[in-house]
A = this chain, B = another copy of it.
Amino acid sequence: MPAEPSSVNLEEWFDRLEDSGYRLTKPLRVVAEVMAKNSYCTLSPTEVYDLGREHYPKLGLVTVYRTLEKLEEVGVIQRVHQAGGCNSYIAAPSGHQHLLICRNCGRVEYFQGIDLTDLVSRVEAKSYYSIQDHWLQLIGLYKSCQ
């Protein structure tokens, strides 16, 4: 059931950004590439900044923040919530998948095949809430971290 991190189609990311009216600039490309190449692990803005500067030293940290925001808005990356902090991002898998994260190294796998819609509507029927979203995440240790 766990799946290899879906290899990212960078061109599709760029298409989505353009469709949303964003301009394809050099810094944006650099940040997107960093996120795409590291689609198997979580990265904080500072880590993205450092990796990006290896290819494009002029890159500014402010731009990294702004670009991550755009990438999240168009849905190609997603924020990851962990006990140690909630400022990391990772390439978003296609479709609705759930995260399996290593508490130690931040490595990620996805798993799918879990249908929670049934559960969700049961809970909804018995509560005063209209449920819009759900969030399932498994936390553990990757083999080399055990």
Contacts and interface: CB of A to CB of B under 8 A. Distances in A.
A140 B135 contact: no
A122 interface: yes
A79 B139 CA distance: 16
Contacts of A133: 138-140
B139 A136 contact: no
Contacts of A130: 140-141, 143, 146
A109 B135 contact: no
A24 interface: no
Interface string A97-123: 000101100000101001000011011
Contact of A132 (B79, B119, B131, B140): B140
A112 B130 CA distance: 17
A95 B127 CA distance: 20
Interface of A: 1-2, 79, 81, 83, 85-86, 100, 102-103, 109, 111, 114, 119-120, 122-124, 126-143, 146
